[in-house]
Structure 1
Amino acid sequence: MTQTSSTGLKPVHGLFAIVGFLVCVEVASGVLQGYYTPIYPDIAEHLGIPEGDVNWFEAAQLIVSALCVPLLARLGDLVGHKKVLLLSTAVTALGSWVLAFAPNFTTFLIGWAIQGAYVVWLPLEVAIIYRRTAGTGQQTRLTRRSAAILVGALELSVIVGALTSGALVEATSMTVLLMLPAIVVTICLGLIWWGIEDAPGEASGGIDYGGLALITAALGLVMAGLVVVRLEGAGSVVAWLLVLAGLAVLVPFVRYENSLDEPLIDVRLLSSAAQWPVQLTAFLFGMSVLGAQIPLSTFAQTDPDSAGYGLGASSGFVSTLIGVYVIFLAIGAFTLPLSSRLLGPRAALVASSLLVALGYGMWLAMHDTTAQALTNMAVIGLGSGALVAALPATAAASAPPERTGFATGMTNATKTVGGAIASAVFAIALTATGSLDGPDEGKAPLSGYLTVWAVCAVASLIAAGVLLMMPKVAEDEDVERPVVV
């Protein structure tokens, strides 16, 4: 039976159906996040570029992701979250099709950057669910459960995507191989259009173009500085001047945003007692969940006979390592409602951060065997999966109705920025005696990997402490009551 919410909306589908359609979106997201990883060397060969240049794809997509999330999240609050979900999916589909037919590196780089619009999907989906459950008496609980389902579907799809591309890479042409994600996203576009209710936006005002220009300048300068650090090392004066210039732009940006009634980035909301711990946690979490991926992969593939450390793993085992990690990510996401019920929402977040810290701390002492690596990644995955699901839902629960899209979107934006900064720092640590880009360019020192794991562990510990400062979410919405959906 369809229920009318307190906003007066009459959804075409019930909550379960809406979540089902949004699961399809996260399946597409998982395919995008897992499909390309096993075939990076093949993509490099297809484009005729060194494998090290693949790092430019990551840098370009991180920049676009960090810039587009605040804009699209604000647009969702203004015109409706479904409309922006459709827009971002259409842009992602365009980028995916560009990848399939890109004739050279530059075109592929542009397509890869455009494809980064998918990062706003999960925040928009959480905002859709949060609004849909208004008036149920269980808004926070239902949003948290739905987010857990979405993230679980996402993580399982990452495995499917990785296994699919790995199985097909030798059986078909690169063009056909790269068409498959584009087809999936295009189908997803039709499902969103047909299956999700089109609710109007609740925010007033327009797009803050002045704020957009300032934050674009700030993030662009910082990201440019970090890219230069990766290319030229920590001794580059130009790199640090760019970073400092980007940070300096934040001063007029904050002042400008605080002077507006409807800013692009609501600095006052982000600095509120309920929001800043969530957003800072997302930033710190991004350092490990995004920044540590390449170091973990290169460590696993390092030959211990020549380097004195590493697992000497094949690409097949690296896929297994990723698979174990993602499986436990899904378990962490699916069990979030249970842990939140047993511990309370805030304590569940703290426990998840401590699990991530424990997992990376275990890497410091246990990194000699494949069994140790799998154990470490399982612990990290449990905590990370819960955080991926919980952070957008927690941000939505503590934001006004007209700013839920913004609040959830900012968790992805801050996570992306944290990952980009960590990526640069880790690259510096791992290139102290060699290059991170390939085995032929020298080996990174073990101390570099120990630095990576230590930074991730400390960042997660700080996140746990920060979350303890967050006020407890009101429990009145979480009282168990029968709800017709």
Structure 2
Amino acid sequence: MDGPQPTTRSHAVVATLALAGTMAAVMQTLVVPLIAEMPQLLDTTPSNAAWVITVTLLVAGVCVPVSGRLGDLIGKRRMLLACAVPLVIGSVVCALATSVVPMIVGRGMQGMGMGMVPLGIALLRDVVPQEKLSGSIALVSASMGIGGAIGLPVAAAVAQYANWRVLFWGSAVLALLIGVLIYLVVPDVPAGAKGQRFDVPGAVGLAIGLVSLLLAISKGADWGWGSGTTLGLLALAVVALLVWGFYELRTRDPLIDLRTTARPRVLLTNVSSILVGVGMYAFMLIAPQLLQFPEATGYGLGESMLAAGLFLAPGGVMMMVVSPLGGKLINAKGPKFALVAGALVMAAGYGLAMILMGSAWGLMIVGIVINSGVALAYGAMPALIMSAVPLSETAAANGFNALMRSLGTTIGAAVIGVVLAQMTITMGGHSLASEGGFRTGLLIGCGVALVSACVACLIPGLRGDADDAADEKRTEASMDRASASA
């Protein structure tokens, strides 16, 4: 297929895919209000209860790039429907869970459905008219942030005023509704890489490397960064990913075309995506704690979890407002400009946080500014990626970019977690993160956002990628001629 095939239902398609992305993000934040009570609810230890969050991250890290490649091979609509199935089943398993093991299994199944967002973004290239593409990409891409921001207060309200199982029954109904909407609204377009084979060894190798890396990063603070388990997992990740990369460069139909990801336009966009992920998560980790810490600390604001979520919710709403404006900015100035602007707006938000962190309303304003920057950046990333990869690799490339964002949030959680754990005060026999720790975390968020803007400034125009592609084709042609001569 040479280009997009616009449909008269493009508005309904975009709305459905944005809702799917929002729902997937809500699944990730669903258990946050429950995590402190999870040991009592499931009769387990706090360390075991932490796996309820960790397992979703690990499974999503593996399944997102695999789902993207399968979308290119067998069709994006088919894979979107396939992603809805484990979301429904996983939610039901969690709703019925009476111990930690089925809860972990259910949360793992929910992680399998996280590929909806990159699949949806890739599908937009096939079905949305060119003049509406940038705005549509921006909205669907930002849906992960929107869902995360509005999902927390909703989950907190349900957890506070109803039985916790209602959260999972509600998510099961929502996932089923999304599946029905995808079936009815989203058109079936030909697979861009139809006829190619699925790279099973590549999927296994990537899974080993990613699980080892993400597990070491996410649990390193608990196990100890110098422990044998953490260092062993990091070593395994390095070896597995190197072997995987060596194999991917030599197989005919790779899971991820590393030559494409090595092109400067794609590579620098992915690096910037990691940094934006770190910057975004710094505020998401710091703000709820500042809002809920007791006022007796001198810097805590003493809000309930529900109130804290409500103060942060306008940031998610602002992402919804800014996303279509970001699409217009991309059309007017290009996705590179939008990415740089988004990162700079994030940095400005962190600068404001140093002044306004002393009030709940101030943190709400900071959240609005930072999330506005995230919306601009998230909308620009897929546009940059899709402008530099062939149609047959659209979903796989977006899946890899989504993985880079996820890696950034994981690194952000680890870095900010270490800072807050090391810079503490003692109150009432309990160790709490200090005001200096929170300010350091906010400065890290600001610095990472500025570095992301600098990296984005280095992203080349399309001409450079076209030259790279032409060079690759000439090299392949020369190799084919040499093989024929031999």
Q: AA paired with 1:187?
A: L
- The correspondence for 2:65, drawn from 41, 45, 70, is 70
Instruction: Specify whether residues 110 and 289 from structure 1 end up closer, same or farther in structure 2 by C-alpha distance, changes over 3 A only.
Output: farther
Instruction: Specify whether residues 292 and 8 from structure 1 end up closer, same or farther in structure 2 by C-alpha distance, changes over 3 A only.
Output: closer
In structure 1, runs of 5+ residues without a counterpart are: 475-485
CA contact (8 A) 1:64 1:113 kept: yes
Structure 1 position 372 matched with structure 2 position 378 = no
- The correspondence for 1:468, drawn from 457, 468, 472, is 457
Counterpart mapping for 1:105-254 below 5 A: 105-133=100-128, 138=130, 141-151=131-141, 161-169=151-159, 171-203=161-193, 204-254=195-245
> In the alignment, what sits opposite 2:478?
none
CA contact (8 A) 2:68 2:119 kept: yes
Q: AA paired with 2:249?
A: N
TM-score (norm 1): 0.86
Equivalent-residue separation in structure 2 for 1:373 and 1:52 (angstroms): 30
Say which SS state the counterpart of residue 200 (structure 1) adopts.
Answer: coil
Q: AA paired with 2:360?
A: T
Alpha-carbon deviation of 1:342? 4.5
Say which SS state the counterpart of residue 431 (structure 1) adopts.
Answer: helix
Alpha-carbon deviation of 1:40? 4.0
Q: AA paired with 2:257?
A: D
Say which SS state the counterpart of residue 87 (structure 1) adopts.
Answer: helix
Instruction: Specify whether residues 282 and 304 from structure 1 end up closer, same or farther in structure 2 by C-alpha distance, changes over 3 A only.
Output: same
Alpha-carbon deviation of 1:387? 1.8
Say which SS state the counterpart of residue 361 (structure 2) adopts.
Answer: helix
Deviations 1:189-239 (A, max 9, x none): 122122211223121421212222222221122223224422133342431
Q: How many residues align?
A: 462
- The correspondence for 1:287, drawn from 269, 278, 282, is 278
- The correspondence for 1:387, drawn from 377, 387, 395, is 377
- The correspondence for 1:258, drawn from 249, 252, 267, is 249
> In the alignment, what sits opposite 2:446?
457
Alpha-carbon deviation of 1:322? 1.7
Equivalent-residue separation in structure 1 for 2:282 and 2:114 (angstroms): 16
Equivalent-residue separation in structure 2 for 1:248 and 1:79 (angstroms): 31
Structure 1 position 430 matched with structure 2 position 420 = yes
Equivalent-residue separation in structure 2 for 1:440 and 1:85 (angstroms): 50
> In the alignment, what sits opposite 1:445?
434
Structure 1 position 98 matched with structure 2 position 93 = yes
Deviations 1:233-280 (A, max 9, x none): 334243133213312332222211111221112111111022111111
Equivalent-residue separation in structure 1 for 2:373 and 2:345 (angstroms): 5
Say which SS state the counterpart of residue 72 (structure 2) adopts.
Answer: helix
CA contact (8 A) 1:222 1:242 kept: yes
Say which SS state the counterpart of residue 442 (structure 1) adopts.
Answer: strand
- The correspondence for 2:341, drawn from 351, 360, 367, is 351
Equivalent-residue separation in structure 2 for 1:161 and 1:241 (angstroms): 36
In structure 2, runs of 5+ residues without a counterpart are: 464-486
- The correspondence for 1:22, drawn from 17, 34, 54, is 17
* Higher share of residues assigned helix: 2
Alpha-carbon deviation of 1:385? 1.4
Identity value in percent: 22
Alpha-carbon deviation of 1:339? 2.5
CA contact (8 A) 2:28 2:56 kept: no
Instruction: Specify whether residues 93 and 325 from structure 1 end up closer, same or farther in structure 2 by C-alpha distance, changes over 3 A only.
Output: same
Q: AA paired with 2:236?
A: A
Say which SS state the counterpart of residue 422 (structure 2) adopts.
Answer: coil
Deviations 1:356-378 (A, max 9, x none): 12222333454222333222222
Say which SS state the counterpart of residue 443 (structure 1) adopts.
Answer: strand
Equivalent-residue separation in structure 1 for 2:345 and 2:160 (angstroms): 38
CA contact (8 A) 1:434 1:441 kept: no
> In the alignment, what sits opposite 1:482?
none
Q: AA paired with 2:190?
A: P
Alpha-carbon deviation of 1:469? 1.5
> In the alignment, what sits opposite 2:79?
84
CA RMSD of aligned residues (A): 2.9
> In the alignment, what sits opposite 2:42?
47
> In the alignment, what sits opposite 1:298?
289
Equivalent-residue separation in structure 1 for 2:351 and 2:455 (angstroms): 19
CA contact (8 A) 1:292 1:423 kept: no
Q: AA paired with 2:410?
A: A
Alpha-carbon deviation of 1:184? 0.8
